[in-house]
């Protein structure tokens, strides 16, 4: 009886969100899975069973396999790597406690306050690749600075890595957030520890490597997970930059267009399931890691 009294109020308090979660998250994941094994196309829902046919078709779908999957892999790699590096450097600089660091902290965070649609529209112009008189944006800046040789076609480039250019706006938007994560991590390292190391004769590099770095690992892990799953899901940024340009096509965009333009609901659901698997690939090891860490404590 006493034990029930302990956990019953907690359960009751949580029940609304548990219910909502069960219905709107897990319920819909289940529904989506169900749709992905049907042959539903068109307006009328059709709940037959065709096995893994939609998945098999995607495996031989040129747009999905030769463009979307490599694209999202490249984008995730460049975006996560670049944003982490940039965010970490900014955090290191701000940690030096120079004058006006509060101002810089906000300035670096500001881009995140813009929706990705706005970011996309701004950067579509910044990454314009017009020639001669119609040059604008970054190319124009490079030209004015006498760096024409650095001119790029950005995401319009012929290279298979063209989509990496979109990591610029994405990183611009999120590096401030990563910076604040790292800054919180850096500031949580007790000053006594650093001083103790210095007293023992460690130089700044060694203080960083042996004292600060190990304490930043949890921050790094969460930053990677947050960025990686954002990267896999991102839709609005690509949509705003150049909606149907195959050079920056990703599974999320293909899912939207095939479902709502063509009515291929089953195929869209199959892509959604694969995306979910992709996100799970990143998140499940992280959850396992944190659970293990917490048990250790």
Residues that bind another protein (CB under 8 A): 5, 8-10, 12-16, 19-20, 41-45, 62-63, 67, 124, 128-131, 133-134, 153, 156, 242-247, 249, 254, 257-258, 260-264
Q: How far, in Å, CA of 248 to CA of 162, rounded?
A: 7
* Least separation in angstroms between CB 149 and another protein: 18
Q: Cβ closer to another protein: 191 or 261?
A: 261
Q: Cβ closer to another protein: 136 or 290?
A: 136
* Least separation in angstroms between CB 146 and another protein: 22
Q: Taking a C-beta distance cutoff of 8 angstroms, is the pair 64, 251 a contact?
A: yes
Q: Cβ closer to another protein: 207 or 241?
A: 241
Q: How far, in Å, CA of 178 to CA of 88, rounded?
A: 7
* Least separation in angstroms between CB 12 and another protein: 3
DSSP tally for the chain: helices H, then strands E: 15, 0
* Least separation in angstroms between CB 268 and another protein: 11
Q: How far, in Å, CA of 51 to CA of 56, rounded?
A: 10
Q: Cβ closer to another protein: 95 or 128?
A: 128
Q: How far, in Å, CA of 21 to CA of 26, rounded?
A: 7
12 is written with which tokens?
């009751």
Q: How far, in Å, CA of 58 to CA of 39, rounded?
A: 14
Quick one: which H or E segment has residue 261?
Answer: none
Q: Which residues contact 86 (CB under 8 A, 6 or more apart)?
A: 171, 175, 178, 179
* Least separation in angstroms between CB 20 and another protein: 7
Q: Cβ closer to another protein: 200 or 261?
A: 261
* Least separation in angstroms between CB 34 and another protein: 16
Total residues belonging to the chain: 297
């Amino acid at each position: 009886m006493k034990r029930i009294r302990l956990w019953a109020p907690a359960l009751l308090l949580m029940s609304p969100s548990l219910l909502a979660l069960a219905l709107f998250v897990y319920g819909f994941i289940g529904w989506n899975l169900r749709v992905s094994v049907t042959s539903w196309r068109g307006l009328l829902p059709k709940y037959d069973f065709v096995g893994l046919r939609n998945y098999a078709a995607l495996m031989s779908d040129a747009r999905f396999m030769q463009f979307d999957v490599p694209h999202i892999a490249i984008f995730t790699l460049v975006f996560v790597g670049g944003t982490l590096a940039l965010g970490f450097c900014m955090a290191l600089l701000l940690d030096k406690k120079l004058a006006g660091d509060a101002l810089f902290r906000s300035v670096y965070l500001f881009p995140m306050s813009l929706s990705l649609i706005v970011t996309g529209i701004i950067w579509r112009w910044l990454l314009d690749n017009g020639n001669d008189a119609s040059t604008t944006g970054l190319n124009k800046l490079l030209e004015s600075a006498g760096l024409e040789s650095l001119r790029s076609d950005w995401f319009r480039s012929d290279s298979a890595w063209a989509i990496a250019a979109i990591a610029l706006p994405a990183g611009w938007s999120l590096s401030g957030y990563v910076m604040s994560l790292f800054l919180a991590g850096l500031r949580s390292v007790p000053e006594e520890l650093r001083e103790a190391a210095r007293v023992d004769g460690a130089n700044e590099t060694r203080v960083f490597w042996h004292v600060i770095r190990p304490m930043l690992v949890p921050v790094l892990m969460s930053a990677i997970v947050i960025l990686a799953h954002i990267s896999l899901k991102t839709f609005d940024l690509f949509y705003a930059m150049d909606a149907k340009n195959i050079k920056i096509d990703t599974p999320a965009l293909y899912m939207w267009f095939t479902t709502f333009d063509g009515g291929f609901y089953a195929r869209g659901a199959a892509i959604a399931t694969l995306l979910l698997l992709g996100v799970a690939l990143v998140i499940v090891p992280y959850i396992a890691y944190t659970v293990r860490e917490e048990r250790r404590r």
